[in-house]
Amino acid sequence: MLTFAFAQLLYELAVKWVEVTGGTDGLPGVGRPRLGLGQWTLELSVRQHMYYLVVVCVALGYLVARRIVGSPFGRALVAIREK
Protein backbone atom coordinates (compact mmCIF):
# COMPACT_ATOMS: atom_id res chain seq x y z
CA MET A 1 0.00 0.00 0.00
CA LEU A 2 2.86 2.33 0.71
CA THR A 3 4.29 1.76 -2.75
CA PHE A 4 0.93 2.59 -4.28
CA ALA A 5 0.69 5.74 -2.15
CA PHE A 6 4.12 6.95 -3.32
CA ALA A 7 3.21 6.23 -6.95
CA GLN A 8 0.03 8.28 -6.62
CA LEU A 9 1.94 11.08 -4.90
CA LEU A 10 4.48 11.26 -7.72
CA TYR A 11 1.74 11.12 -10.35
CA GLU A 12 -0.17 13.99 -8.74
CA LEU A 13 3.04 15.97 -8.37
CA ALA A 14 3.83 15.52 -12.08
CA VAL A 15 0.32 16.51 -13.17
CA LYS A 16 -0.26 19.44 -10.81
CA TRP A 17 3.18 21.10 -10.95
CA VAL A 18 2.52 22.67 -14.34
CA GLU A 19 5.36 25.22 -14.20
CA VAL A 20 7.99 22.46 -14.12
CA THR A 21 6.44 19.41 -15.79
CA GLY A 22 3.95 21.05 -18.13
CA GLY A 23 1.16 19.02 -16.55
CA THR A 24 -0.80 16.91 -18.99
CA ASP A 25 0.63 18.88 -21.95
CA GLY A 26 4.15 17.52 -21.39
CA LEU A 27 7.47 19.30 -21.25
CA PRO A 28 7.40 22.62 -23.10
CA GLY A 29 10.10 23.56 -25.57
CA VAL A 30 11.25 20.03 -26.39
CA GLY A 31 11.47 19.75 -30.16
CA ARG A 32 11.43 16.66 -32.32
CA PRO A 33 14.85 15.38 -33.32
CA ARG A 34 16.29 14.97 -36.78
CA LEU A 35 17.20 11.42 -37.75
CA GLY A 36 19.72 10.77 -40.44
CA LEU A 37 22.61 8.84 -41.84
CA GLY A 38 24.90 10.89 -44.02
CA GLN A 39 22.90 12.54 -46.78
CA TRP A 40 19.61 10.90 -45.77
CA THR A 41 17.89 12.90 -43.06
CA LEU A 42 14.40 12.65 -41.70
CA GLU A 43 13.05 15.83 -40.10
CA LEU A 44 10.54 14.60 -37.51
CA SER A 45 9.04 18.05 -37.03
CA VAL A 46 7.37 17.54 -40.44
CA ARG A 47 4.14 15.62 -39.85
CA GLN A 48 4.44 13.58 -43.02
CA HIS A 49 7.93 12.36 -42.08
CA MET A 50 6.71 11.38 -38.63
CA TYR A 51 3.79 9.51 -40.21
CA TYR A 52 6.09 7.50 -42.48
CA LEU A 53 8.40 6.68 -39.57
CA VAL A 54 5.46 5.37 -37.53
CA VAL A 55 4.15 3.33 -40.48
CA VAL A 56 7.58 1.70 -40.94
CA CYS A 57 7.88 0.95 -37.20
CA VAL A 58 4.41 -0.60 -37.06
CA ALA A 59 5.10 -2.71 -40.16
CA LEU A 60 8.41 -3.94 -38.75
CA GLY A 61 6.77 -4.73 -35.41
CA TYR A 62 4.05 -6.70 -37.18
CA LEU A 63 6.59 -8.69 -39.19
CA VAL A 64 8.66 -9.46 -36.09
CA ALA A 65 5.56 -10.57 -34.18
CA ARG A 66 4.46 -12.82 -37.07
CA ARG A 67 7.91 -14.37 -37.21
CA ILE A 68 7.95 -15.04 -33.48
CA VAL A 69 4.47 -16.59 -33.51
CA GLY A 70 5.48 -18.84 -36.42
CA SER A 71 8.59 -20.11 -34.64
CA PRO A 72 8.58 -23.16 -32.35
CA PHE A 73 8.87 -20.86 -29.35
CA GLY A 74 5.90 -18.83 -30.55
CA ARG A 75 3.81 -21.96 -31.11
CA ALA A 76 4.63 -23.00 -27.53
CA LEU A 77 3.43 -19.60 -26.30
CA VAL A 78 0.22 -19.96 -28.29
CA ALA A 79 -0.31 -23.44 -26.81
CA ILE A 80 0.20 -22.08 -23.30
CA ARG A 81 -2.30 -19.31 -23.99
CA GLU A 82 -4.89 -21.77 -25.30
CA LYS A 83 -4.55 -24.11 -22.34
To the question of pTM greater than 0.85 for the whole model, the response is: no
Q: Report which of 36, 34, 12, 7 is spatially closest to residue 23, judged by C-alpha positions.
A: 12
| Beta strands 34-37 and 40-43, pairing class | antiparallel
pLDDT in tens, 20-62: 888 887 777 778 888 887 788 888 888 898 899 999 999 999 9
Mean of the pLDDT values across residues 67-79? 95
pLDDT confidence of residue 37: 79
